Structure 1
Amino acid sequence: MTSSLGSADLVVVGAGIVGLAHAVDAVARGLSVAVVERDGHATGASVRNFGHGCFTAQSGEALGYALEARTAWLKLAKEAGFWLRDAGTVLVARADDEMAVLAELQAERGDQVVLLDRAGVTARVPAGPEAVGGAWFPLDVRVDAREAVHAIAAWLAGQGVRFHWGTTAHTIEPGLVGTSRGRITAGRVVVAVGHDVDRHFPGLAEANGVRRCVLHMLRVADPHRREIEPAVLTGFSLLRYDGFAACPSLPAVRGRLAAESAELVGIGMNLMFTQRPDGDLTIGDTHAYATTVDPFNADALDRHVLAETARLLGVPRLDVRERWRGVYASAERPFLNAAPMPGVRVVAVTSGIGMTTALGLAPRVLDDLHD
């Protein structure tokens, strides 16, 4: 006989940041919430990332979600008691065409972008001799990705959210979620399982072109042993974020990097880093895409990340503490918000900006779901 795990106004499948964002907004609406998570705690993209609220580099719909998420992050950090640094991002420019892109973005965004000369950059972050200037994005924030989602889950549990850890969702239908531990009666359901959308709704994943994006990331000792308050991006980042796409000088940057660093562009390099609370640096990253990911790590990708980060920092080498793979859902459109059946939404951030946008996306999903 199948046991009952009770009922909830909203059942969320998945306890990563996208799932938790829906739980946070549902609690604010006074709804009862149950969260079903197959692992004993979040282990996916939400804990493997840079902990970077990269708000300024977004555009369009994503920018709107990001700015709303910024407010939510600041509020949650106080309420849930996790580490957050409201110190912005510095993009280090190492060529004049990169400075031109930043000047064009500043003309569009005003005080969201503060242009810096070389001295202004090095006063904020360590940078090697190639740095010619850059920009500071004051709205961006940093959290410790390894702590934040766990702290949010603990806070939500204190607000009455029921977590079913180590529990697999087997069936999802209107008004009911069947799990490995029993059934939950659901007023509404949000499925937020990231790149594993195809495990539950394979046809939906195929129709939306959802694949897995695999990243090579590392934790290294900070060679300069200094506090680095902002996140750090580079010219490679200009190619990765939609906020720069309309800048007239971007094609010049793209062409130069393709000519000078074809191999790095080919592996999807987004040269960036953030500093952890313990002083170490999270560095990365590379991008490769597949529906089914091979389990083998190419050491050459790690070596590229290490060499380019050392060059950025102006040091000969870096000491590695940890290596890992990030994995997130990727598709042509940045967000998946599908309704495969009444009262059920399948939601994923399919652009690698879940930490940046999920807390802004979730209220829009629930507005629609509860109309």
Structure 2
Amino acid sequence: MTHSHFHTDVAIVGAGILGLSHAYAFARRGLRVTVFERSGTPLGASVRNFGMVLVTGQPPGAMHALARASREIWLGWGASAGFHVRRSGSLMFARSDAEARVMEAFAATRAEYAAELLSRPALDDLYDGRFARHRAALHGRDDLQVFSRAAVPSIIDYLRHAHGVEFRFGTLARNIDGALVDTTAGVWRAEHVVVCAGHDYLSLLAPQLAALKPRVCRLQMLRVRPAAPFALDHAVLTGLSCLHYGAFSDLPEVEVLREEVATRHPALLEHGVHLLVSPTPDGDLIVGDSHDYADDPSPFNSSAIDEMLLSLAEETLGGELQVVERWQGVYGARTKAFEAPFSVLRVAPNVTGVFMHAGVGMSVAPALGERVTSHLIEGKPMTLQAI
């Protein structure tokens, strides 16, 4: 390495939502922050997702608290960075009695969540009766939704202009040696180095990450256009999501639902399909998702899975949908991620790796960045599981 170094207080590797969250937390404390991103613009999980800040879906306890704190940060970012944040919440529709019973159990036992079952008249009137055929609906009032492709660049511009964060796009961080970060833009010396490299498990901190046995989750995603447009202002889920999200998955009623799905629609369980729908600013809808776990994500999508997603969306929304775009979502994963949805790795006194192992980065990353930063800078205890 050369002895001529650039200097920064904090070097962050990765400009996804987790890296940006840490950049914000450090920069608002007055530290000089430099973010290194190998691509010319963020292209990973943070821009391929639904843009849901799903507070209602997070398990009780630490993850729910993280999501609630992240919600406030998102609202602040939206106001300061100038992007739209939908605040109408989410609507989870029960298409069967088994799905309805899970939602009823949730509403009866999880008082700490800002969520309520809609009355029958309210459900019948919702969107001019479009959803009246469903058995029940749960309204998650705390849930937010952004258009990630616009929100992430807006946050970057805000951090650059309001907080002086320096971004080095198209720059690969090749090695970390103590306080030195060797990059394709030179060698940088930093007091703190934070690695938020998504599902890149080989470039940096490889031995520590290998011990976690991480994996990659691949999701099939669609952007669709309703044949008869309507002004959807909520994120939409179905009771299938109760099998996926920790806020519901430990309820006894979930096992009955799981057995029902396994009997009637086993392919949904096989491919981890549950419906999520997010409106975009131009009236299109983002639809997904499926879950395929592997060491390396396959580049090949299944048309059968796309058809499952499209059929679920048309059935739930009550109208024909035209596919206008297809892509793969992708995020870092881990076996039994529900037990350890993220890892904070203290590799050296000034080197920390922060990695998500579940698809909830948009929901919890802002507050996780704040918690990690307050621990590193102010010595506050990490009150969260960090494995």
TM-score normalised to the size of structure 1? 0.95
Does the CA contact (< 8 Å) of 1:27 and 1:33 recur in 2? yes
State the secondary structure of the residue aligned to 2:226. Answer: coil
CA distance in 1, matches of 2:275, 2:283: 19
Q: What is the Cα deviation at residue 150 of structure 1?
A: 0.6
Return 115-124 or 332-341, whichever deviates more: 115-124
Residue in structure 1 matching 2:374, options 364, 367, 371: 367
Once the two structures are superposed, residues 321-345 of structure 1 have per-residue CA deviations (whole angstroms, 9 ceiling, x without a partner) of 1000000001132011111222111
Does the CA contact (< 8 Å) of 2:6 and 2:186 recur in 1? no
Once the two structures are superposed, residues 242-300 of structure 1 have per-residue CA deviations (whole angstroms, 9 ceiling, x without a partner) of 01023221111111111111011110002110100100000001000111122222222
Once the two structures are superposed, residues 299-325 of structure 1 have per-residue CA deviations (whole angstroms, 9 ceiling, x without a partner) of 22111111221122223x421110000
Q: 1:275 to 1:5 in 2, by over 3 A?
A: farther
Does the CA contact (< 8 Å) of 1:127 and 1:312 recur in 2? no
Return 336-345 or 198-207, whichever deviates more: 198-207
Q: What is the Cα deviation at residue 108 of structure 1?
A: 2.9
RMSD: 1.7
CA distance in 1, matches of 2:149, 2:101: 36
Aligned to 1:108: 109
Structure 1 unaligned segments of length 5 or more: list them: none
Number of residues of Structure 1 aligned to a counterpart in Structure 2: 370
CA distance in 2, matches of 1:288, 1:354: 18
State the secondary structure of the residue aligned to 1:197. Answer: coil
Q: What is the Cα deviation at residue 199 of structure 1?
A: 2.8
Which amino acid is 1:71 matched to?
E
CA distance in 1, matches of 2:35, 2:362: 19
CA distance in 2, matches of 1:291, 1:196: 11
Return 130-139 or 147-156, whichever deviates more: 130-139
Which amino acid is 1:6 matched to?
F
Q: How does 1:1-371 map to 2 (within 5 A)?
A: 2=2, 6-59=6-59, 60-110=61-111, 112-121=114-123, 123-124=125-126, 127=130, 130-158=133-161, 159-315=163-319, 317-331=320-334, 332=336, 333-370=340-377, 371=379
Structure 2 unaligned segments of length 5 or more: list them: 380-387
State the secondary structure of the residue aligned to 1:100. Answer: helix
Q: What is the Cα deviation at residue 67 of structure 1?
A: 0.5
CA distance in 1, matches of 2:160, 2:7: 16
CA distance in 2, matches of 1:234, 1:303: 17
CA distance in 2, matches of 1:44, 1:86: 25
CA distance in 2, matches of 1:5, 1:220: 49
State the secondary structure of the residue aligned to 1:211. Answer: strand
Does the CA contact (< 8 Å) of 1:92 and 1:121 recur in 2? no
Which amino acid is 1:236 matched to?
L
Q: 1:267 to 1:10 in 2, by over 3 A?
A: same
TM-score normalised to the size of structure 2? 0.91
Does the CA contact (< 8 Å) of 1:92 and 1:127 recur in 2? no
State the secondary structure of the residue aligned to 1:69. Answer: helix
CA distance in 2, matches of 1:279, 1:364: 36
Does the CA contact (< 8 Å) of 1:173 and 1:341 recur in 2? no
Which amino acid is 2:364 matched to?
T
Does the CA contact (< 8 Å) of 1:11 and 1:186 recur in 2? yes
CA distance in 2, matches of 1:177, 1:312: 50
Which amino acid is 1:154 matched to?
D
Which amino acid is 2:303 matched to?
D
Q: What is the Cα deviation at residue 201 of structure 1?
A: 2.5
CA distance in 2, matches of 1:348, 1:148: 21
Identity %: 37
Which amino acid is 1:244 matched to?
F
Q: What is the Cα deviation at residue 119 of structure 1?
A: 4.5
CA distance in 1, matches of 2:240, 2:24: 34
Does the CA contact (< 8 Å) of 1:218 and 1:323 recur in 2? yes
